[in-house]
Amino acid sequence: MKIVSAKVIVCSPGRNFVTLKLETDAGVYGLGDATLNGREKAVVAYLEEHCLPALIGRDARNIEDIWHYFYRGAYWRRGPVTMTAISAIDMALWDIKGKALGTPLYNLLGGKSRERVMVYAHATGKELGDAVDAVGKARDEGFVAIRVQSSVPGVASSYGVPKGDRAYEPAQKGVAEEQVWETAPYLRYLPKLMDRVRSTYGFDFHLLHDVHHRCTPSQAARLAKAMEPFDLFWLEDPVAGELQEGLRMIRKHSTTPIAIGEVFNSIYDYTTLITEQLIDYVRMPIVHGGGITHLQKVAALAAVYHVQMGFHGATDLSPINFAASLHFDLAVNNFGVQEYMPHVDPAFDVFKVNYKFERGYCTIDDKPGIGVEIDEEKAKKYPYVAASLPVARRTDGTMFHW
Ligand code: GCO
Ligand code: MG
């Protein structure tokens, strides 16, 4: 089954998405997500210049070999751009295999380990009261796992809080917006927010929070310890991803579960964290972590150390990635939770999806392969818009982690 054509589709139905479409001489085609927020065109160039010409003529059935061709074959290996390009190729090949065999992706990954996938909602507020209300709203919608974020008094721009009434979307048109952040007021504020949430609604639901890389190791250790009375499901990205040793300090002081790695792209980012049991959940998504082929290896390593999977699922990952994640979540034994941020309506004008949300869980139907379709004519109605993620500075002007 030879690959006869490969093309990249870029569209912006509400936000930018990059999609790879591979066609075979058997008439079966596959789709893969190649979206890297704010760096979309870098992945397009990597695919078009360096990968797609080498894909034509290859046997689409040989997923493992093709993965290694693009991973080992790239002398300059790893990194988010390279690994996102490999992910898109890999997803499209798994989609083709499922379609060719007439079976959904989860069957190729070992079959169902569960019937539905627990997802977590985003509850955000411009102030403490709003954030607490947003948690109540998510509970009313049936969510059993809820991430809470709020603006921090005295901090000009907090991570995760939407502008106006629109859904949260960090990437903004043009060059990066410069935001102002300070960690000290946040550290004082977060226990108050969590206390209000737990004293209002009790403990019979999972509560999560994303630090978004804003702490030093000792600040993160203090925060994780302060979170213990609130029984968090996880504290996400307490320190910047590249400082893996920072996780040792957190573990030494607290048993609050830790999730990390939405910015990771390789199993080698996780080896110390998993083998030393410094984390509880893997966040690296299929779209940025080398696809299903590579994530299977990460999930298997994690399982050995009783670490669970908790895929990144923000709206800057396309519905194709979300559907692929649900297949994976259904299949692996060591599944923890899946992030769920519904895409805006225009995205569903372009992408026809096969999953649905119901009372705290997502399910996916049994269409062969990944099961998401793209309407290429509709995609043309939404041309690419250059956009960037923000950057952050401290109040004295020092560049900081966003
Ligand atoms: C999350 C993430 C996102 C990222 C975004 C960047 O946990 O969902 O932190 O909000 O900031 O995906 O592109
Ligand atoms: Mg995050």
Give me the tens of pLDDT residue by residue for the chain, a chain 402 residues long: 999 999 999 999 999 999 999 999 999 999 999 999 999 999 999 999 999 999 999 999 999 999 999 999 999 999 999 999 999 999 999 999 999 999 999 999 999 999 999 999 999 999 999 999 999 999 999 999 999 999 999 999 999 888 877 778 899 999 999 999 999 999 999 999 999 999 999 999 999 999 999 999 999 999 999 999 999 999 999 999 888 999 999 999 999 999 999 999 999 999 999 999 999 999 999 999 999 999 999 999 999 999 999 999 999 999 999 999 999 999 999 999 999 999 999 999 999 999 999 999 999 999 999 999 999 999 999 999 999 999 999 999 999 999
* Cα 212 to averaged position of ligand 2 atoms, centre (Å): 6
The number of the ligand 1 atom at minimal distance from the alpha carbon of 160 is 10
Catalytic residue among 206, 209, 212, 312: 212
Nearest CA to ligand 1 atom 2: 314
* 121, burial (CB in 10 Å: exposed 0-12, middle 13-18, buried 19+): buried
Round to whole Å and give the CA distance between 188 and 186: 5
Q: How many of the other CB atoms lie within 10 Å of CB of 193?
A: 22
Round to whole Å and give the CA distance between 54 and 147: 42
Tokens describing residue 41: 């065109």
Catalytic residue among 159, 270, 340, 355: 159
The number of the ligand 1 atom at minimal distance from the alpha carbon of 38 is 13
Tokens describing residue 163: 């502008």
Round to whole Å and give the CA distance between 122 and 167: 10
* Cα 213 to averaged position of ligand 2 atoms, centre (Å): 9
Residues near ligand 1 (Cβ within 6 A): 37, 170, 210, 212, 262, 312, 314, 316, 339, 389
Tokens describing residue 391: 């950057």
* Cα 314 to averaged position of ligand 1 atoms, centre (Å): 6
Q: Which of 262, 284, 325 for a ligand 1 pocket mutation test, highest count of atoms within 8 Å of Cβ?
A: 262
The number of the ligand 1 atom at minimal distance from the alpha carbon of 212 is 9
Catalytic status, residue 212: yes
Q: Which domains does the chain have, with CATH numbers?
A: 3-103 (3.30.390.10), 108-370+387-400 (3.20.20.120)
Alpha helices in 46-127 (DSSP H): 52-55, 63-72, 80-101, 105-108
